[in-house]
Chains A and B, each alone.
Chain A
Amino acid sequence: MIEVEQLTKTFHDKKRGEIHALNAASFQVNPREIFGILGPNGAGKTTLLRLLATVLRPTSGTAIINGHDIVREPAAVRASIGFLSGDMGLYGRLTALEILGFFGKLGGMGGAALKKRTEDVIARLDIASYADTRIDKLSTGMRQRVAIARTIVHDPPVLILDEPSYGLDVPSARLIENFVLDARNQGKCILLSTHVMEEAEYLCDRISVVHEGRVRITGTMEDLRAATGKTRLREIFLDLLGIPARAQEARA
C-alpha cells in the first residue's frame, strides 16, 4: 500500500548550506498494518510524512501510495490519504459538521453519500452533542475526536499520522490509540510517527528508526531486539542513536 523507494529530501539554507533532511529512505507498509516511525527531534520524520502527503516534493526517489506515485500523481495520492498531526489543524471558527462537510467535499464526496458518511463518523466518535458548536469553544479531547473524524471522513485507505498524541493527556491519548487499532482492523494502512516509546511498542506491527535523515533499522520488535540485543524499545532506540549505555543510565 505504501512503497517508499530511495526517498531523499535536501533543503537549501542560506546560512547552513545544504541540509539533508531525508537520505534515501526505503520501506514498505502493508494494508492492515501499523508502521511506526521513531526518531529524535530533527531526525527527518516530519519531512518524510510531508513528502508522502505530497505537501513537499522529493529531491530524488519516490513513493507509491495506493498505486499512485507521489511525484507524478500527487492529487490521487492526497485523495487516498488521511493526514493527522498533533496540532490537529482544525478551523476554530467552524463547527465539526462544517469541517467534515468541507474535507468530505475536498475528498470528492457530496450529496447524500457525504451526509450519511458524516452522520456515521459523528455517531462512531460520539460527536453529535457538539457537532454544531464552533471548534474554538470545545475542549482538547472533543477537538481530538473531531480531528480524527476529519481524517477519516472521506474513508481513505491510508492514514498518515504525525505525532497524533503529542501534548495529550492519558484519556485523550487512549482515544488516539483506539482509533489507530480500529483503523487497522478495518484494513487501513497506517504510518505513525511518534516520540512515545510505549505507544509505539503497544501499537506498531513494525518500526523504523530514523536518525539524521537515514533509516537506521526497520523490523518488528523481535527483529529490533535481535539486532541490538536490548529488550525495551527505549533502550533499542538509544542504542541505535549511538548514545552510550552510561549516558542511557544517567538519563534514566
Chain B
Amino acid sequence: MNTRIVTTVYRKEILELVRDRRTVVSMVVVPIVAMPLLFSAMNYFMSSSEKQADRESTTVAVSGPLAMPGLEDALKSAGFQLKNVQDLRAAVRDKGAAAAVEVSEAQIRIYNDETLPASEKAAAKLHELLDTLKDRQVRVALSAKGIPEKVLEPFTVEDVDVAPQGTRGRKFLGGMLGYMVILLMFTGCMYPSVDMTAGEKERKTLEILLASAAGRDEIVLGKILAASTAAFITATLNILSIALSFQSGFMGKNLRELMEGVRIDGSAIALLLIAVLPTAVTAAAVMITISSFAKSFKEGQSYLSPLIMLVIFPAVIGMMPGMEASTRLGLLPVFNVSQLIKSIFAGDYTATAFVVSFASNFVYAAVAFVIAVRMFQREDVLFRT
C-alpha cells in the first residue's frame, strides 16, 4: 500500500467534504449548536414548569367552613386561597383548585392529582402545614400534662450519602451527553460516507477513480480516514460545545443545580476524545461499507438510517442510571463507549474500563476496515445495476 496515494485520496475527500454544504451543516453546525440549544430548552421548560406549579399550587378547595379551629387562618397565613365548592374531587380533577381539604372529626383528607405538578406541590405544602399544626397541638397537650417534649423523639434517624458530592448529577449528565456525542458523531459521519461512495457512483466519478493508478485498498483507506475525520471533528466540536456551555454558565440555574459538582476540564476533554477515536473509525468503516452498496445518495441515506436507529439502542441502555459497566459489556460496541463517556464525566472511570473499551473498539475498527476493503473489491457492489 502506497501511503502517498492514500494521503492524496484523503486530501481530495476532505476538500470535497468542506465544499459540501450538507456535510458542513451535519459536521460543524449541528454539533456546535445542538447542545446549547438542548440545554437552553431544558432550562426554559424546567424553570417555566416550576413557576407555573408555584403559581397554580395556591388554590385550595373547601366545602363550607372547616371543622377545625385555627385551620382556616393557618391556611390563609401560609398563602393559600380558599375556594368554596360543592364537589371537592371534581374541583381538583377539573383543575378548579390545586388540592382540596376536607375535615371530618379527627381526620383531615387532602385531595390531589399526582399527575399534576401544581397539585402535587399543593398537597406537599398542605402536609407540611398540617404536620406543623399537629406537632404544635401535641406539644401543648404534653406541656399541660407536664410530660417533657423529648418523649416525642426518643431517637433520631439520619441518612448518610457516601457518594461523592455531585455524583448523581454527573451520572445524569454523563449518560445524556455520552448518548448525544455518539449519536451526533454517527450523524456527522453519515453524509460524508454516503457522499464519497454512493455519491461518487451517482456523479459517475467512481469509475474514473477506480481506473486510476490508485489501488482499491488505497482508495478505501483514504475514504475511511476522511469519514473518520468527519466523525471525529463532529465529536470534538460537540464535546467542546458542551464544555463551553458548561463553563460559560449558559445552562442556567436549574441545570446547574442538577449537575452540581460536575467539572469538564482539559484532561476530561482529552480522555473523551481518545475514548471516541476508535468508535469514529468504526463508524466510518461501517458506513462506507454499507453505503457502497447504494447506487445513489438518496439510496445510501436510506441504507444508513436504520444504522442510526441501531446505534440509539445501546447508547440509551448505557444512559440508564442503574447500568454499570462490566468487562463483558465493555466489549459491546457503542454501549462501551457511551458507558466510558458517562464515567469520564462522573470522574469514576477505571483504567481497565478505558483500556477494554479502547482496545475492543480498535479491533472493531480494524475488522470494519477489512470488510470495507473486501466490499470495494466486489464488482457486484461497485457496479450494482
Contacts and interface: CB of A to CB of B under 8 A. Distances in A.
Contacts of A50: 207, 211, 383
A232 B20 CA distance: 50
Interface stretch (A83-91, A177-185, A222-230, A244-252): A83-91
A185 to B, nearest CB: 24
B203 interface: yes
Contacts of A102: 8, 12
B201 to A, nearest CB: 11
Contact of B213 (A55, A85, A106): A106
Contacts of B214: 78, 106
Contact of B211 (A53, A87, A105): A53
B15 interface: yes
Contacts of B205: 89-91
A108 interface: yes
Interface string B25-45: 000000000000000000000
A83 B213 contact: no
B145 interface: no
Interface string B366-385: 00000000000001000100
Contacts of A239: none
Interface residues of A, number: 32
A7 interface: no
A75 interface: yes
B383 A56 contact: yes
Nearest to B204: A87
A94 B12 contact: yes
A98 B211 contact: no
A215 B148 CA distance: 116
Nearest to A109: B213
A97 to B, nearest CB: 12
Contacts of A98: 12, 15
B117 interface: no
B213 A57 contact: no
A81 interface: yes
B203 A55 contact: no
Nearest to B5: A106
Given A89-B205, A90-B205, A93-B19, A78 B12 contact: no
B213 A75 contact: yes
A40 interface: no
Contacts of B209: 89
B12 A91 contact: yes
A167 interface: no
B213 A154 contact: yes
A110 B207 CA distance: 23
Nearest to B382: A55
Contacts of B383: 50, 56
B203 A92 contact: yes
14 contacts: A89-B207, A89-B208, A89-B209, A90-B205, A91-B12, A91-B16, A91-B205, A94-B16, A102-B8, A102-B12, A105-B8, A106-B214, A107-B212, A107-B213
Task: For the complex of A and B, list the 6 residue pairs with the smallest distance between their C-beta atoms, beginning with the closest.
Answer: A89-B208, A87-B204, A83-B211, A53-B211, A93-B19, A79-B213
Given A57-B379, A106-B214, 14 more contacts: A50-B383, A55-B210, A56-B383, A78-B211, A87-B207, A88-B204, A93-B16, A94-B15, A103-B212, A105-B5, A107-B212, A107-B213, A110-B4, A134-B19
